[in-house]
């Protein structure tokens, strides 16, 4: 019955999400319609249109197309059953790749990236693409929260039978009220946000039987922590698993 419950839950959230997406695409479509009309008027009726105006209208079309694209992509990611392929592998390589990938853009935004990744972490069962997607969503949010630059720390640690990854920023932080809502689909405080980024991160962590927690302080910054269970086989390799001896007395 647990599975059934989950399916009903999924269906309900799918309907809510679909209604949300329909609502979300209305604004970009309206904006595109208006600016296309303005361009059309100038061409068809040969009304005067400065090059600057034309450029502005085209920029709006461009932005709104991008926005529609992220609404649809985020939506699909959020509702689609994930094709999760867990593989035993080293986190270090994935984290290094993510750091190298985001560092140029962070620097462009005057954000310094601090890599604080413990060496000789145990291997984990994870889906590399999904983990990268989750980290990208969190890093993007962190960057958005540091409009005037700052510091982003990516930390990875072994903590007992868990590996934790922390994404720490020195950005705006969140009020308690905001903090309560951030995992709700479509909750956003941004003019151009989809409010689905953290919904996707949450879903990805569930696929990994992991967890996500967040602490934040207004005006100081935010810390998201992802935790992953260390697989049994790797625990034994680490030697920190209590050894149980079963003696058969036949
Ligand atoms: P979006 O980024 O499209 O708004 P998300 O689901 O990624 O959607 O985030 C939801 C909201 O959570 C954001 O609009 C923002 O208010 C808040 N948030 C998330 N991460 C951070 C962060 N690192 N610092 C401050 N606020 C954040
Ligand atoms: Mg986001």
pLDDT tens series, the chain, 250 aa: 444 445 455 556 767 777 778 888 888 999 999 999 999 988 887 778 888 999 999 999 999 999 899 888 888 888 888 889 999 999 999 999 999 999 999 999 999 999 999 998 999 999 999 999 999 999 999 999 999 999 999 999 999 999 999 999 999 999 999 999 999 888 999 987 888 899 999 999 999 999 999 999 999 999 999 999 999 988 876 655 555 556 655 5
Dist. CA 116–CA 191, nearest whole Å: 32
What separation in Å is there between the alpha carbon of 245 and the centre of ligand 2? 49
d(CA 240, CA 163): 14
Residue 241: exposed, middle, or buried by beta-carbon count in 10 A (0-12, 13-18, 19+)?
middle
ipTM above 0.90, yes or no: yes
DSSP letter at 185 equals T
Classify residue 90 as exposed, middle or buried by CB count within 10 Å of its CB (0-12, 13-18, 19+): middle
pLDDT score recorded for residue 246: 60
> How do beta strands 150-159 and 111-117 pair?
parallel
Alpha carbon 59 to chain centroid distance?
26
Nearest CA to ligand 1 atom 27: 141
Ion ligand 2: residue ranges with CB closer than 5 A: 141, 197
- DSSP state string for 138-170: HHHHHHHT-TT-EEEEEEEEEETTEEEEEEEE-
Mutate to test the pocket of ligand 1, among 136, 137, 198 (most ligand atoms within 8 A of CB): 198
How do residues 61-118 score in pLDDT, each as one tens digit? 999 999 899 888 888 888 888 889 999 999 999 999 999 999 999 999 999 999 999 9
C-alpha dihedral, 153 to 158 to 163 to 166, nearest 10°? -10
**Helical ranges in the chain per DSSP H:** 2-44, 51-79, 91-108, 128-144, 176-181, 197-207, 232-238
**CA 176 to ligand 1 center in whole angstroms:** 13
Q: How far is the CA of 30 from the centre of ligand 1 (A)?
A: 25
Both tokens of residue 225?
């922590």
Structure tokens at 95: 């984290």
Tell me, what's the pLDDT at 45?
Answer: 78
Q: Which atom of ligand 1 is nearest to the CA of 74?
A: 3
The pLDDT value recorded for residue 23 is 81
Q: Interhelix angle for 197-207 vs 51-79, to 10°?
A: 30
pLDDT value, residue 1: 43
Residue pair 223/152 in contact (Cβ under 8 Å)? The answer is no
Number of the ligand 1 atom closest to the C-alpha atom of 200: 6
Residues whose CB falls within 8 Å of the CB of residue 70, separated by 6 or more in sequence, listed in order: 194
Residues with C-beta less than 6 Å from any ligand 1 atom = 137, 141-142, 145, 169, 171-172, 174, 178, 182, 187-190, 193-199, 222
What pLDDT, on the 0 to 100 scale, is given for residue 49? 84
Structure tokens belonging to residue 13: 């959230």
């Amino acid at each position: 019955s647990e599975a059934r419950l989950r399916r009903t839950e999924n269906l309900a959230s799918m309907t809510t999400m679909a209604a949300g997406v329909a609502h979300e695409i209305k604004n970009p479509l309206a904006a595109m319609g208006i600016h296309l009309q303005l361009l059309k008027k100038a061409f068809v009726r040969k009304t005067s249109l400065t090059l600057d105006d034309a450029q502005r209208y085209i920029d709006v079309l461009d932005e709104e197309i991008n926005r529609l694209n992220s609404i649809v992509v985020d939506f699909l990611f959020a509702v689609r059953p994930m094709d999760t392929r867990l593989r035993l592998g080293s986190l270090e390589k994935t984290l290094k790749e993510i750091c190298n990938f985001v560092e140029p853009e962070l620097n462009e935004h005057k954000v310094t990236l601090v890599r604080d990744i413990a060496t000789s972490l145990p291997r984990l069962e994870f889906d590399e693409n999904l983990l990268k997607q989750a980290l990208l969503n969190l890093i993007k949010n962190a960057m958005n929260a540091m409009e005037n630059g700052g510091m982003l720390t990516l930390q990875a640690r072994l903590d007992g039978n868990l590996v934790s990854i922390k994404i720490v920023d020195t950005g705006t932080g969140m009020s308690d009220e905001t903090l309560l809502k951030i995992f709700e689909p479509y909750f956003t405080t941004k003019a151009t946000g989809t409010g689905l980024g953290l919904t996707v991160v949450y879903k990805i962590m569930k696929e990994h039987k992991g967890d996500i927690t967040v602490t934040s302080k207004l005006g100081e910054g935010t810390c998201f922590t992802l935790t992953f269970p260390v697989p049994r086989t790797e625990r034994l390799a680490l030697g920190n698993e209590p050894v149980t001896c079963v003696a058969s007395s036949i």
